[in-house]
Amino acid sequence: GAGVSQTPSNKVTEKGKYVELRCDPISGHTALYWYRQSLGQGPEFLIYFQGTGAADDSGLPNDRFFAVRPEGSVSTLKIQRTERGDSAVYLCASSRSGSLLNEQFFGPGTRLTVL
Amino acid sequence: GQQVMQIPQYQHVQEGEDFTTYCNSSTTLSNIQWYKQRPGGHPVFLIQLVKSGEVKKQKRLTFQFGEAKKNSSLHITATQTTDVGTYFCAGPGDDMRFGAGTRLTVKP
């Protein structure tokens, strides 16, 4: 079956612009996670959804970052007033449930470059 | 907050040699997961350990969870070039914390 998909695969934007990154989880997975990964680092947790609600958004670095999952499936990560330091690969993962005891299936990521 | 640390950061081995990476958490973990990320790829789940002192094997890979559930290790016996990649441990707590990873390179 289809895995987790993310679009776009690459996004280049200018400092100060707004960007949206999309994640399509595996069908039927109720939990969805967003991570940010910089070169040579492990994935950095941003936010976790259980269904439509954000169960834990403690990893969002500041109020320029926001994520939604209005129908409990597709999620969008939104970044306002982008800064060069936001450049990274943004990974999305989904799992069958939100107990954190289930394996996470990662998407291929969106590489964001802020010029 | 919870911190997950991994050592070593890099490991270069000759094909056929063994490899071990260690993961340590500042807090007790309910479980720990291990992932592998190939160069240019995304993390892929390897295994989950839940019980104190648990040991699991997958062919040449052996995973251990410490008695205090604060540390874990991954050991690969007789490495092959297909083992190349970065190995991450991840511990759920208030949020999902990944270690910085151990990057393994294997010389044929």
Point out the residue among B45, B96, B99 whose CB comes nearest to the CB of A45: B96
Non-local CB neighbours of A53 within 8 Å, separated by 6+ positions: none
B42 touches chain A (CB under 8 A): yes
- SS3 of residue B13 by DSSP: strand
CB contact under 8 A, B44 and A43: no
A57–chain B Cβ distance below 8 A for any pair:
no
- CB contact under 8 Å between A45 and B33, yes or no, is no
Contact A91 B100 (CB under 8 A): no
Averaged pLDDT for residues A56-61: 91
Mean pLDDT within B7-20: 97
State what percent of residues in chain B have pLDDT above 90. Answer: 82
- Judging by beta carbons within 10 Å of its beta carbon (0-12, 13-18, 19+), is residue B88 exposed, middle or buried? buried
Nearest-by-Cβ selection for B42 from A40, A45, A108: A108
Tens-digit pLDDT profile for residues B84-101: 999 999 987 556 789 999
* Least confident window among A90-94, A105-109, B26-30, B87-91: B26-30
Residue closest to B38 by CA, chosen among A50, A98, A30, A109? A109
Q: For residue B103, give the chain A residue with the closest CA.
A: A40
Average pLDDT over residues A48-74: 92
DSSP-based three-state secondary structure for A86? helix
Question: Could you report the per-residue pLDDT of A14-24, keeping only the tens digit for each?
Answer: 999 999 999 99
Question: Which residues of chain A are within 8 Å of residue B36 when distances are taken between CB atoms?
Answer: none
Asked whether residue A111 carries a pLDDT value surpassing 70, the answer given is yes
Question: E-strand spans in chain A?
Answer: 5-7, 10-13, 19-24, 31-37, 44-50, 53-56, 65-68, 75-79, 88-95, 105-106, 110-114
How far is it, in rounded angstroms, from Cα B106 to Cα A109?
26
Contact A7, A107 (CB under 8 A): no
